[in-house]
Amino acid sequence: MLLRIRTDAEMTLRRLLRDRLAPVLVLLVPVVFLAAAVAITPEREVWVVLASFPTPDPPPLAPLPISPHGALVSASERAIAAVFVGLASVAVVVAFLALALLQRGAAATRRLVLEGYRPWEVLAARLAALACVDAAVTLVVGALLPLFLSASRPAVMLAGLALGGLVFAGFGLLVAALFRSELVGILCVVLLANVDPGWLQNPAAFADAPWKAGIRLLPAHLPMQVALAGAFTDLPAWTQAAGSLGYAALLVGAAALVFTARARPRLPRARGRRGATVQAPPG
């Protein structure tokens, strides 16, 4: 079982490396996203809300601004934009590759299932390959972010970016399992990947957002909180990281159920004497 998953994951990664567009996508998307964010964002200091962290007790002598919606952090607006746009770029790349691996590799998937692979083994191999892609994109973004900020805990910040990629890998796999149309899948990925991590999770706008409860339910919220906490605070983010993994597991589990139901081979049908359709016996 593990050997089959490893073999399929290696073959999937080799196909991605042979595709000239995939490495370009991994390198180009973070650079373009971050360059655009830096070009339009000022260097002023702003207060932002980390909504998944509790509001701290006010200090006794020098009170700081307190928000009822979570912990307040003061940082450069450009540095904040770099973090949330960096996570958006990881999410977009991984979600699109997850979609492509299942939809464009449908014929190869059917052959593997007919040769004895279980559908969940195929999906596990795709997820393992996507985890490697997620790590690669995270490292690319992590190499660019020091140009815009000095993170308090770089490892925690990178963990938040990687968790965002895992969550959107699950989302891309679920979309690919639900919809066979490539156009519909691309529209779904573009819609959520741009609206959620690329817009609604902007911490500079969260404090004034009227739909805070809905924003907290979106897939990128907890990974974004981990990345921001690692970039600008010393707050422990174990709960947010565990919630991100839980969200990713939920999406991957849903994708596995749909994918298993659709990838199951169907027996051929034969015609009876009076034209009735009968099920052909196995073998």
Count other Cβ atoms within 10 Å, centred on residue 24.
10
Q: Please give the C-alpha separations between residue 55 and each of 5, 59, 69, 235, 241, in angstroms, as whole numbers.
A: 45, 12, 7, 12, 19
- The predicted pLDDT at position 274 comes to 53
Identify the pLDDT of residue 279. 53
Q: Where are the alpha helices (DSSP H) in the chain?
A: 2-18, 21-40, 77-103, 106-114, 119-144, 154-178, 182-195, 203-206, 212-217, 221-232, 238-263
- Written as tens digits, the pLDDT of the chain (283 aa) is 677 788 878 888 888 878 777 778 888 889 999 999 888 888 888 888 887 887 654 544 444 455 555 677 888 889 999 999 999 999 999 999 999 888 876 666 666 666 667 777 888 888 999 999 999 999 999 999 999 999 999 999 999 999 999 999 999 999 998 988 888 999 999 888 888 988 888 887 776 778 888 888 999 999 999 999 999 999 899 999 999 999 999 999 999 898 888 766 554 554 545 545 545 555 4
pLDDT at 62: 43
* Predicted local distance difference test score (pLDDT) of residue 115: 64
Measured on CA atoms in the order 47, 87, 91, 159, is the torsion positive or negative? Answer: negative
Burial (Cβ within 10 Å: 0-12, 13-18, ≥19) of residue 27: middle
Strand 277-279 to 45-50 pairing: unpaired
Determine which helix (DSSP H) or strand (DSSP E) holds 50, and give its type and residue range: strand 45-50
User: What sign results for the dihedral spanned by CA atoms 89, 90, 91, 92?
Assistant: positive
